[in-house]
A and B are shown apart, each in its own frame.
Chain A
């Protein structure tokens, strides 16, 4: 690679030709302030916060978009630069509600942090010209607040380019510009999958998750309620970040301790029903494979993915496993099996999920998800919301001792843990399917080919004579590629795992902000570390799952399983609301 020499604030650095000024400055130890820029996305150069002086250039240049050239002399901290940055920011602020104290992103807002960094201390421009818009609270998972939007377009990029959903885009013009769904309708009236990747990249509070913390506080304070909580596999490797810990720490024990201190009556693990999912889904796959069922079979754990296929590929719903997601299996069992075992009326059991996901808020409200006659799951907290509750309660996360999950839904295996990373469901399924079909012990439980953040991964597994070709996709743009292959009849896979969010659940829309691909990789490493550290690595070896079948379910895919653990899907189509002209 050709290297060029540039001077940044008097220091000479060598960077690859074509690097941006931003990258060159970083190499010189200078962090140029940015706002619309996001390290994983294409450069948009919308906000002009990152302007710098380039000697010889007529105007200030945007550091995020301007490539360096050999001998370029850059000044990042002159009076002109500081003034321009500050005025650009003040103009953005002039149309932004001065409502920080009441804002869901207070102290976690990039705009607010910049105002502090650039030394904004008074509102000089009182020219709020943008017309006010109501909040859009139409969806189960997300709230849009157009008044807070600074039009950076990160959400548009993630929605179109990464997820290939395209639910929102810039509309109208000039001062009336908004990021909105087609027709200016509510988000719920277009094909939005509620994955919340937009909320993860939003620098402000223009789009964020529907709050479930108040209802959880209310349940915890209600003496009638027996409040049980389940934690998704991905939470244990991300919740620490809410408290300033480095990404990639495994904090399972502290997470359990924290939830107990919040007042939950039982702290359980979604990993348990992840193991159960493997038993049901694994047997469903074996059944389809041996009895000529619809193949490839596609996993059904990820509610954003489910809504995606319902909107965009409704004619392929029979490829989906009929298994409910681990979250919903947990809820169904909590209000039946567990209720009976513990002698508690299911109407008094309140099930809370801690999920890395916003779409889980939509999933728990699906009308078919109430196997006991009550909703399987009553409230879904994102990782961020749990962080908020723990801060409210004054729980010092880093100081907590490590504690153990409660029985019986706290007994889990490494196979359940890896559900949190892309490829994990596939690997967990293969660990079980191989041993069930071949009746032999796997030589190695690690299927490295399906691990990692790469968008589409493939592997072939030899089940003693039967070769099974599998594929794994994360991010809906990659899911779309696989679906198009199926549509064209070119997919020679038997089994596909699809996760809605990039990297899988560790990169979910409900995870701590920031979540970048670098951070995703660290969380993935932590997930496999947690897996490797567990004594049991295969779902079918989970003793509590075995007991559950003996005591209650009978056998995989049995009558009880179908009633509680399996579901059906809805053809939604790309244009869900018949629109009016």
Chain B
């Protein structure tokens, strides 16, 4: 039984996901991952519905959703910029790249532009140390970044 029947909720899609995993608490990560794909983030309502179905308190589901950086509990921009904060990128000037992005978009890490286009985040190592400093925008990777280059890249979106 779903706790709420708010018609704005993606209930049919979510029900299909929950049915697939047969209410198993062990499948929480998979359920969260697929549920996030419905509209890009995990709202309180969605977390509550998952909690009800899986039989885990919402506080624990929220704990899992906020532990993993790829889960979102608030709406994000259409493009998520993930800038590497690991040591090799740091040594190769990631701070300057970050400063350029912050200046171009007027947001700080963890924030979203008012038009809902970009979200800026840190990420741990992307495995692109050979072309450090590096970042990703959604699924695309970018390396050998400089302040100028990152401005061009952002403006091309």
Contacts and interface: CB of A to CB of B under 8 A. Distances in A.
- Residue with the greatest number of chain A CB neighbours at <10 A, chosen from B4, B58, B68: B58
Interface string B58-99: 111111001111000101000000000000000000000000
B16 interface: no
A237 B16 CA distance: 55
Interface string A156-184: 00001000011111111100000011111
Nearest to A169: B59
B57 A160 contact: yes
B3 A574 contact: yes
A68 interface: no
B44 A173 contact: no
A290 interface: no
Contacts of A173: 66-69
A180 B63 CA distance: 9
B44 A182 contact: yes
Contact of B45 (A160, A171, A581): A581
A166 B60 contact: yes
Nearest to B60: A169
Given A171-B66, A579-B44, A181 B59 contact: yes
A166 B3 contact: no
Nearest to B59: A169
A182 B56 CA distance: 12
Secondary structure dominating the interface of B: helix
Contact of B43 (A160, A169, A170, A581): A581
A57 interface: no
Contact of A172 (B47, B57, B60, B66): B66
Contacts of B46: 581
Category for how many chain A residues contact B: 20 to 34
A101 interface: no
A575 B61 CA distance: 14
Given A166-B58, A182-B58, A183-B73, A579 B45 contact: yes
A580 interface: yes
A170 B63 contact: yes
Given A173-B68, A182-B48, A190-B58, 13 more contacts: A165-B57, A166-B59, A166-B60, A167-B57, A169-B57, A169-B60, A171-B63, A171-B66, A173-B69, A182-B51, A575-B4, A579-B43, A581-B45
Interface of B: 3-4, 41, 43-48, 51, 57-63, 66-69, 73, 75
17 contacts: A169-B60, A170-B67, A171-B63, A173-B66, A173-B68, A182-B58, A182-B61, A183-B73, A184-B66, A574-B3, A575-B4, A579-B43, A579-B45, A580-B44, A581-B41, A581-B43, A581-B75
